[in-house]
Amino acid sequence: MGGALEGFKVLDLSRVLAGPWAGQLLADLGADVIKIERPGEGDETRAWSPPSLPDGTAAYFLCANRGKRSVTVDITRPEGQDIIRRLAAEADVVLENYKVGGLAKYGLDYAALSAVNPALVYCSITGFGQDGPYASMPGYDFIIQGMSGLMSITGPADGEPHKVGVATTDLFTGLYAANAILAALLARVRTGRGQHIDMALFDCAVATLANVSMNWLIGGKVPPRLGNAHPNIVPYQVFATEGGGHFILACGNDRQFVAVCEVAGHSEWSADERFSTNPARVRHRAELVPLLAGVFLTRSRDDWLARLDAAGVPCGPINTIDEAFADPQLVHRAMAISMIDSRGQKVPLSGCPIKLSDTPVGYTLAPPALGEHTDEVLAALGYDEARVAELRRQGAI
């Protein structure tokens, strides 16, 4: 059986991360995703190295472009614009992350392409959305992390604000975009019409603040930066251990706190009115945490993890990336895969986390070489070899 999105065609005009991340997810789910790239250079992340494959393709590009066919098109040329319009006429989805109005000057915006294909779902990803005072500004994950408030709550309490170690704003926007595209395709079943999806990194970054933003909306207090501690739960943070190790203690309720105290050899703490309930522990965080920290320094990380796990207390190690990929659970779940690309290179990749029982994710195409599928896609559109050669000579592809 094919993938869940088998038979759907996606025209991916996006680059870097948020858009390609959405496109890769749709490809994993079975869609035919055609990635449009600039002739000669392509998606700029192809050169964001080291590290890279032997042919020079950067690891960054590889992370977000599995399952796609690459077609080179110069959209600034009339011949290139005609190719895009012809592809859009047959597509179910267009995905793009140009600046607001950037594609209108080429006749490739939603208004123009929906006139060609009224059933088209057209997803635009920008930093700040299609309207508002910042609409014309470019969007960068790092800057959005700062503007959204995310960095204000990330990092040590007594240090400078930190960004998250991966471009979460881009990635969350890609996931929101993929969900929006699927919703629009379902709506099309009822109406027969496509629609324009307006996705903004800034919006998505604020949406994913989740309970932290609600703490401010409900409580009226600006959330502080707590390092590895949790604003609403105590003890729920990182602790140091004997020998320099660290572990995560995620004590989510009062019953678990009783078990923590028993393991620590201080059952009396759980009866102390300052610590007996979570709201009390949050209020008396500054008194409780040093007591626990002192006890946890008396044994090794693995010793504490074994004792806490046996007592039913959620806890875990802080793995390096290599340790995470070696974890037997991730190995069992096939979260590290490899593919052979058209040049015979072995391409190691992170797997897709979606597990579908009837229409499982399929890994059909390794991340493509620049323009690898141009000839076959144009042939399917009716371009003969002579016309393709002429377009290539003109620099349109």
Catalytic residue numbers? 170
Residues 6 or more apart whose CB falls under 8 angstroms from that of 94 comprise 10, 11, 13, 88, 110, 113, 120, 121, 122, 123
Q: Within a 10 A sphere around the Cβ of 5, how many other Cβ atoms?
A: 23
Q: What is the 3-state secondary structure (H, E, C) of the chain?
A: CCCCCCCCEEEECCCCCHHHHHHHHHHHCCCEEEEEECCCCCCHHHHCCCCECCCCCEHHHHCCCCCEEEEECCCCCHHHHHHHHHHHHHCCEEEECCCCCCCHHHCCCHHHHHHHCCCCEEEEEECCCCCCCCCCCCCCHHHHHHHCCCHHHCCCCCCCCCCCCCCHHHHHHHHHHHHHHHHHHHHHHHHCCCCEEEEEHHHHHHHCCHHHHHHHHHHCCCCCCCCCCCCCCCCEEEEECHHHCEEEEECCCHHHHHHHHHHHCCCHHHHCCCCCCHHHHHHCHHHHHHHHHHHHCCCCHHHHHHHHHHCCCCEEECCCHHHHHHCHHHHHCCCEEEEECCCCCEEEEECCCCCCCCCCCCCCCCCCCCCCCHHHHHHHCCCCHHHHHHHHHHCCC
Q: Tokens 């000057």 belong to which residue?
A: 105
Q: What Rg, from alpha-carbon coordinates, does the chain have?
A: 25
* Residue 30 to residue 360: CA distance in whole angstroms: 9
Q: Tokens 């930066």 belong to which residue?
A: 225
Please say whether the dihedral angle defined by the alpha carbons of residues 303, 305, 306 and 312, taken in this order, is positive or negative: positive
